[in-house]
Amino acid sequence: MSMPRLDDLVGFGSGTWWIFLGIVAMGRGADLFSTWLATPGLELEANPLARRLGWRWGIPVNVAMILGTALWPMLAVSLATTSFLVAARNLQQAWLMRSLGEVGYRLWFADRIAASPPRLVWLCFLGEGGLTGAVGGALMLFGPSALVPFGIGLGIFAYGVAVCLFTGMSLWRFLRVPTHDR
């Protein structure tokens, strides 16, 4: 099997499609499992669409996304990369989320943010996303003709953007609420 190019699509059910289906299914499966482990009630889910869909609709939507994404290998590699990075981040704190409970973790985390200078909080969270995105951007810049480095770079870049976007949305909501209402 020769490696598809960046803009190649593969046939539904072909051997190549099955390979990319497996790659993206492992990534999405890791993300879903780590999300369930960290926040089974989705109280701490950062993605508002995923939280709104819930488990009942989120799983079928993910299955459809996996089936369709496998048709475009570059998208499959980038989605799998982003999913693995999200899963790793979830697993980093899942033990703490489970030990404190979803509400307890949220209150503990809110207290830690409230006890910190807001600019420092913003700098740290946006710095994490920006620096991660820069690594992905470098892979995209220096590997534009090769599917795997470009797809991994795009996935890392998308993860960095997601960290900045979802963390920024959460911080914006949190910091707008008066301290006595938290």
Question: How far is residue 115 from each of residues 19, 58, 112, 169, 178, measured CA to CA in Å?
Answer: 48, 35, 5, 19, 14
Q: Which two tokens stand for residue 38?
A: 């960290």
Kindly report the pTM of this predicted structure. 0.85
**Alpha-carbon torsion angle 163, 96, 54, 28, nearest 10:** 60
Query: What whole-number distance in Å separates Cα of residue 14 and Cα of residue 41?
Result: 37
Closest CA to 41 of 29, 31, 51, 30: 51
Boundaries of every domain in the chain: 15-181
Q: For every one of its 182 residues, what pLDDT tens digit does the chain have, with 9 covering 90 and above?
A: 667 776 788 999 999 999 999 999 999 999 999 999 999 999 999 888 999 999 999 999 999 999 999 999 999 999 999 999 999 999 999 999 999 999 999 899 889 988 999 899 989 989 999 999 999 999 888 877 788 888 899 999 999 999 888 888 878 777 676 555 54
**pLDDT the model gives residue 177:** 61
Q: Tell me if 58 sits within 8 A of 114, measured CB to CB.
A: no
State the DSSP code for 40: T
